[in-house]
Amino acid sequence: MKTIRVKVPGGAYPIHVGKDLFDQAGAILSEAGFSVPPILVSNPAVLRLHGCRLLRSLQASFGRVPRVVIGDGERYKSRATLSSIHEALFRAGADRDSWIVAFGGGVVGDVAGFAAATFMRGIPFVNVPTTLLAQVDSAIGGKVGINVPQGKNLIGAFHQPRAVLSDPAVLRTLPERELAAGLYEVIKCAAIRSVPLLDFLERNLEDVLNCRPAPLEHIIVAAARIKAGIVAADEKEKDLRVILNFGHTIGHALEAATGYRRFKHGEAVAWGMIGAIGLGTALGFPNGQESVRLVQLIERVEPLPSMRDIRFEKVWAALERDKKFRGGIFRMVLLPRLGEAAIRSDIDPQRLRHFLKRFLQRGGDVQAAVPIPARKSSHAGK
């Protein structure tokens, strides 16, 4: 078992990564100071596949563990599910000393974490993520929340988990496409912070895709460490944490423009990273050779769903609505070189528009990223 500590203003918490960790969950968490039984929030598929082992371990340490089962899928990250978790907490007799174990993918972690953040003004919760995406990204960092008709994650809070328990062995039961979607976030971590992780992925991609435990554990630990370091430096996304959004600006717009049905989040981020690299090239960043490496790695994972028939105006409208464009300024994370991200607030919307149109027309072909001559009147900021 490897342990990474996340240092946030309210106190540090551990991310434990290791094979067959569920059998030790009760012991680890009782050593961490918990004494009363937690309330377990999960979904039917996760409970069926992995519930027995986790529950056996928790019940051996804490006694009977009440369960709250929520629906499986993004549409259950809703106000209705939030209320239903609160109701279940009341039925279970929960009070301010109660705590939650969120057992599942990003949906379970986000909505159960938000329920914990708001029940009696905040009770502790522990994340036990069962997807690669959650293990390397959403379970770490304390962003919790729900979706509303106006957009994803627009209602929520910052509420750090007390511990994260990630078992690479559970990923065997994950659909291939889900595994790939998580892998794009690992590639993102490498792209913004770690050339060694990128090297490792290039060398071991097939083993990772075949769920071999050792390389899986390696990349989970590496990505979690990168995310933990960034979150520790900027818990509430005032500054540095923004670089975790590399690939997300265009990615979110693609998801929104296709009604969140075509792409998995990670797939949209993969297109977003390719787009951001192309935009960097178009803006004259000296990242030609290096960025080809990144694009090639992304392309080796699996074929991405096509962008070819998406209407540009829909993507542009989504981009303009995006909460990341604060105060009308187009802010994006670009990659001056591999392993080094930069937040740019000086992107000329006209040039972004021009680039993105061609990028979509050519179906994401990175060759669309030919340098665009700067307009005469172009200026930073706008």
Which residues make up the interface to a second copy (CB under 8 A)? 9, 36, 79, 83, 86, 90, 95-97, 117-122, 143, 145, 148, 150, 153-158, 236, 323, 326-327
In the complex, minimum distance from the CB of residue 58 to a second copy, in angstroms, rounded to a whole number: 19
Rank residues 199 and 239 by Cβ distance to a second copy and give the closer one: 239
Q: List 3's β-bridge partners, or say none.
A: 16
Kindly state the tokens that stand for 6.
């996340």
Phi, psi (deg, nearest 5) at residue 155: -115, 125
In the complex, minimum distance from the CB of residue 103 to a second copy, in angstroms, rounded to a whole number: 22
**Is 185 considered catalytic here?**
yes
Rank residues 327 and 373 by Cβ distance to a second copy and give the closer one: 327
**Is 86 considered catalytic here?**
no
Kindly state the tokens that stand for 48.
């069926």
**Is 178 considered catalytic here?**
no
Annotated catalytic residue, options 193, 245, 264, 287: 245
**Residue 369 three-state SS:** coil
- Residue identified by tokens 């490498």 is 190
**Is 241 considered catalytic here?**
yes
**Is 248 considered catalytic here?**
yes
In the complex, minimum distance from the CB of residue 55 to a second copy, in angstroms, rounded to a whole number: 23
**Is 300 considered catalytic here?**
no
Annotated catalytic residue, options 16, 50, 77, 143: 143
163-166 and 11-17 as β-strands: parallel, antiparallel, unpaired? parallel
Annotated catalytic residue, options 241, 264, 344, 358: 241
Whole-angstrom distance, CA of residue 339 vs CA of residue 197: 9
Rank residues 56 and 324 by Cβ distance to a second copy and give the closer one: 324
Annotated catalytic residue, options 64, 96, 121, 376: 121
Rank residues 19 and 86 by Cβ distance to a second copy and give the closer one: 86
In the complex, minimum distance from the CB of residue 331 to a second copy, in angstroms, rounded to a whole number: 12
For residue 280, give the nearest of 329, 330, 351 by alpha carbon.
351
Whole-angstrom distance, CA of residue 190 vs CA of residue 195: 6
Whole-angstrom distance, CA of residue 203 vs CA of residue 299: 15
The residue count for the chain: 382
Rank residues 146 and 283 by Cβ distance to a second copy and give the closer one: 146
39-42 and 11-17 as β-strands: parallel, antiparallel, unpaired? unpaired
**Is 143 considered catalytic here?**
yes
Residues with Cβ within 8 Å of 91's Cβ and at least 6 positions away in sequence, in order, are none
Annotated catalytic residue, options 248, 344, 351, 358: 248
- Residue identified by tokens 């690669």 is 132
Q: Which residues form the catalytic set?
A: 121, 143, 185, 227, 237, 241, 245, 248, 252, 265
